[in-house]
Every structure is written in structure tokens, then in C-alpha cells.
Structure 1
Amino acid sequence: MPGLWKTPGVMAAFTVLVALLVLIRPRSGDSTFRWSRDGDWFTIPDISLPANGIVWTAVALCLLCTAYAAWNARAGRKTPLVLVSAFAVLAVSGFMSWAVAGKTLPVVGLLAGALALAVPLVFGALGGVLGERAGVVNIAIDGQLLFGAFGAAIAASLTGSPWVGLIAAMIAGMLVALLLGLFAITYWVEQVIVGVVLNVLVIGFTSFMFSQVLSENSAALNNPPHFPRLEIWVLSGIPVIGPIFFRQTVLVYMMYVAVFLVAWALYRSKWGLRVRAVGEHPKAADTVGINVIATRYRTVLLAGAIAGIGGATYTLVSVPSFGREMTGGAGYIALAAVIFGKWDPIKATLAALLFGFASNVESVLSVIGSPVPSQFMLMLPYVVTIFAVAGLVGNSRAPAADGVPYRKG
């Protein structure tokens, strides 16, 4: 099958790119990887290895993975996810070793920052999974993130409480979701078009409010307090794991809970069964007494609230204040995570973490003075997104009624 050859093709392309790094611009010296931070129970020694040796070893192993993937494709079998994951780790290790030759890479800081940057992507992806599982294509994730950030900034600035800002962000996300539901569910408008229009509408509205209102009253309306970083007792002291997962803000801990709850509810609860039923076969669901319209509305509103929490990350954690178009298209990357994760909350979360890692690589390499051009690093998250969705997603099937309006009778 031609589709089976996409993954080996993408793997071969990445392998060639990593090899070209050494051939075109070889680096001398050792790559040092730092694994410990202050506050750990004990210190893990830094690991220094020859940069070129690591890269060529990674290239050789990537070639073996690519050959095995091609052998599977020729035999008519899918490439195992474990193999794709191993290939990704090897390719990233080779690239990072080349990039930090002669310098020290703080691995824990890189991964902790990647997790923090992935928070809005994860919440957006969870919202996208819920909406599409109920049969509504949620292109408006970016608008929900942006409006959530806007609402959080104003509410937190006025009240002095980031918790009020978080609630306002959820309401803002629900408002965008309500408009999506109104046009897509009630009036049967093409859902992709509605989503794009809503994104443009939110960008226009927030940009207008920023220039006409927030900029003139920044101290009162655009100076939100931030959530502090919370260290979980005992767990935060575990080397590597502790600083990455347990020295974060409350929104990261909420993300852990949200991923678990969405995954459990979607597959283990009666509510989740109904949501999946209206997304796969709404007429059959209606026949057994499920209110398709109400279920879709409730799910889309919940998805908007979850995406709104992701938007709050920008103004209550990441940056000092709200800025024009500050999400930078993160909603579209979250939508790509939904597709890459095959409409599964756990897999979509892992995809969002991958894209968050790609985003943080640029920051870390620029800090340590890597020779990688900044323009290339800025486009890296989007390149990874395109390659992942186009080449590594494999054969996947969206919910059968995804994007199809339900007309009763």
C-alpha cells in the first residue's frame, strides 16, 4: 500500500538531513549534557561525548530504523509506534549533539521548558479531541486560546487574582465555542469555514481592544498577577524527573489532571460513550434516545473551556501582559496534535509535548550560543508539525460524523 511508505520516506529524509549536518559543517569538540539542578537529592555528573561520534552513531541507528520501517512497508505492515519514537529520539540526539558541540546543554532545563511551552498546546489539543469526537471540527482552537489569554489578562488585572483570571479564560473560551456551536450545530454552516472566521474575528477584536483600551490603561487592565511556581514536596527533589514535572505552576498540574480525566471520561464513562456515539453515528445515537444536538453543544462548550485554560497560560504564566496575536498560531499546532494523535487524548498530548519541545529548542540553543541560524530554529516547530502530520501519522480515521451537521429526521 502506498500509504505505508510515507513513514519510511520521512525517516529517510530526516536521516539524510542529520548526516548532512556533519558533512557540510562538521563540529569539533565534545558535547556536554548536564542532568542536575540545584535542589536535587543528589548530583548526576555531566556527560561529555565527542559530538561527531554521537552524530554518526545516531545516523547509523536511524538508518537501521529506516530500513526496518521499509521492510515492514514492503511486507504490508505498519511501522510500529515504538520504532517511530526510537527514531525520533535518535535523530534529535544527533542534531542536539551537533548543535551543542563544545558547549554544555542543560537537559533538565530544556525538557522542563518544553513541558511549560506545551501546556497551551495540550489544553488546545484536548479541546480539539473532545469537539471532533462529538462530530464538530474545531478549527477555532486558536481563537479560544487567544480569547482565553485576553479574558484572563483583564480579569486578573482588575481583581488582582490569577484564579479569577483563569475562570474568565474558561468563560472566554466557552464564548468562542458557543459561536462555533451556534453556526456549526444549529445552522449547519460549513465547520471549517466557521472556525477560520472565528479565529479571524477574535484576532481582530482583541487587536482592536489592545490598541484602543489595554494600551491606554495597561496598569489597570493589562498587568495581571501570575501563578507562582510550586514545588511538590519530596517529588521535586528527584533528579531529572523532579525539576521537569514537579517544579511547575498550578496550570501544569491541572494539565496532568485534565489529560487523565478526559481520557478516562471519553473511554470509561457513559458520557464518553454518548459523545463518541454522536461523533460516529448520530442517527443511531438519536434512535436509542441520546439528544445529539444537546450532547454536541455540551461537549463543544466543555472543549472551549479547556482550551481557554490553555490560553490563560500565556498571560498568567508565560509573559507579563497580553499582546496582539500572542498565541502565534498555537491553535493550529494543537489541531495538528489532534490529527497526529489520531483523535486520542493521550496520543494528542504526547504530540503536543513533541511540538512544545521543538519550540523550546530554539530558546535553549540561542542562550548557549549555538551556530544554528535563528531563522531556522524559529520555523522548526512548524516544520516538525508538517512532517509529523504528513509523514508519520500513517493511516488514521477521524470520527465518521466529524464535520457533518446532524439533521434530525
Structure 2
Amino acid sequence: MTTFKKTISAIALAGVSIVAVAAGVQAAEKRPAELAPLGEPPSPPDNPMTPEKVELGKLLFFDPRLSGNGAMPCSACHLPELGWDFPDKISLGYPGTVHWRNSPTIVNSAYYGNLFWTGVSKSLEAEARTAARGGVAGNGEDDMMEARLAFIPEYRERFNDVFGTEYPLMRDAYMAIAAFERSIVQRDTPFDLYMLGDDDALSDQQKRGMELFTGKAGCSTCHDGALISNQKYYNLGVPAYDGWEDDELAQITFRFELYAKGSTEEKYRKWKDDPGLYFVTKQEADLGKFRVPSLRYTKYTAPYMHNGMLETLEDVVEFYNQGGGTNDWAATKTDLIKPLGLTDKEKADLVAFVESFSGERLLMETPDLPEYEPLPAVTN
């Protein structure tokens, strides 16, 4: 008996209609090969996830004591009720400063190979450390933050249970925060349900949008796979952040970042736009390039792009429909973007499909944080 016949016989013995199976196979073949549903989030062997570690990371994520001034938790820029990001063009900055880039959502960040807009951190552990210590973000120092944690009995107990240390270490704090962030995933979106076989999970409009996404609009050239991102870097011609024209603090932050990340005197004086990936590679071919973000959960994460210059998903679709924009880095703009010639109906269909990458809002209340107490007296 052939393998095919054996398979059919097994299905029949299981009481499953062969016609139904054939219909299911036929339906599955309609799914676009460029896209896929999300699988289980990774759990790195050097930082395995446990319920206790995730719960500790949750407390630390919301705890403002992990910052320079004791008032800037991770959640200040990643608000659960507002998309797990910050609802403005530019993220919240450390008091006395402003940030200089849009705050990405942490939803599904477990699946990224490179974190931040220019991939400067290669893991969520490194991302947590970079954010907590960044000059216009958390502005913290490990020794000061460790000292604060040492005065909190519940943290001493939790760190000892999870990591086996007598006192909390920031190295372990970043690992716990990363474990918590890996738990913030969404895998039951209409898109995922459709890709797993539910023909009714997408509306007719969304299915038309899917055809555009993988066809005429060419979105899946860069937004593919299960993450809906190839995680590569491109200059799309996104215009410079308009706050640099009239916001004094934003101008100071921009100059600070140019200086801190390394640029010549000439470039420091001349550049008026975010150099992007150039800061990582120092290759002028990478000027203005930023990582392709996932389109998952984007229904709740407006505004869009690395500097928030596009306000709505409709604006994003129109931006691509026009062939991108113009900025100071015209020489490096990708040739993948060309005018699309989409009709108003097609643009609406495309937006509807992009919204299918988002399910219900993922909400979470701020946990009650443990209190300081005096360290126990040392006895001989």
C-alpha cells in the first residue's frame, strides 16, 4: 500500500471525512507561503523562563527604582493600556530631557533577533540593560540600583529563590525583565487563526487586503514570516522628526546623541536628521536605515515609524502608495519602494488586513511593589 493510501486509511479509521480533509488541504493551500502564524516564544538556554522569574521580572518592569532618579520604570515608556509603547512621536525622556526616537511595543519582542530601531542590542537582556542605563531613557547606574534593591526584603528573597544570590544583582534583574517581556506575546490574532485553518477568521475585505499585501502592494517583500518582518534595515525616506525644528530640548538631545554615538565635527554641525544604522556600522551606505518592525499589534501602537512621523495606519499605507518620502539621506533610500497606484478601496482593504495582525488589547494592572526596609543588623 502506498504512503498516500495508508494516510487516507488512517484518516478513515479515525472517523474523519476524507472530503473534509481534502477541503482542509485545499483551504490550507490558499494561505500565502510568505507569511506564517507565530509559534511558541523562545526561551534561551542561558536564561530559561520560569513562573518565578517571570513574576520577578514583572515587578521590576513596573518598578521606578530601576532608573537614575528612582521614578522611571520600563513601563513609563511601555504603557500596557496604550499598546505597550508610548503614544507620541517620540518616547518619554528622562526628566530634564526628551527622547529622540519612537518607542516600539514590547508585545512579541521575544521573537526579534535584534532590538531597538538599529538592532544595537542582540537580546532582550541587553535591551533591558541599555534602556535602564541610557542617558535620555532610564539614566541608571547598576551600583545605585543594586543598592536600592538590597533594601527591599521581598526582592532579596525573590532573587535568592530565582538566582541563588544573597543580594540582588542587576545582571539578574535584566534577565528577569527579559523573561517577563518574553511572556508578553499575542498568538491568537485573526491572522493567526486564519493561517491555522479558520477560513472565517478574516473578513472578505481582509482577504482582499491579504492579496494586495502579498501581491500588488509588495508589503511581504519586507514584512514576511511569522513575525511579519524580515528584520533587515532600509531607508524609506521617512521625513525628519519635526520637533527638531522648534523643540529646544529635542535639539539638545539630537546633538547629545550625535556626540555620544560618534560623529566627526563636520557631521556634528551639518547633520539635521537621524543617521540610523550608521551609528552601529559607521558606514555611510547605512545612513537613514532602520530595522523593519513587525506589523503585529500595530492596531494599538500609533504613531508609526522610527520617529512617529506617520500618525495612522492609513497614513502609513498612503506613504508607501506614494513611493515613500524624502529625507536627508536620499543616496541610501531603498529602490524597493515605488509608487503603487492603489485605489482608495484597495488602501482601505490593505489597512483592514494589517489590523488582522492584532487581537484584543493585552492589558495588565500595575502590580503592588514591595517596600523598603532597613537592612538587618550584622551580628558577630
TM over 0.5: no
Higher helix share: 1
TM range, smaller chain: under 0.3
TM-score by length of 1: 0.20
TM-score by length of 2: 0.21
Flag the structure with more relative contact order, 1 or 2, with Cα contacts below 8 A and sequence separation at least 6: 1
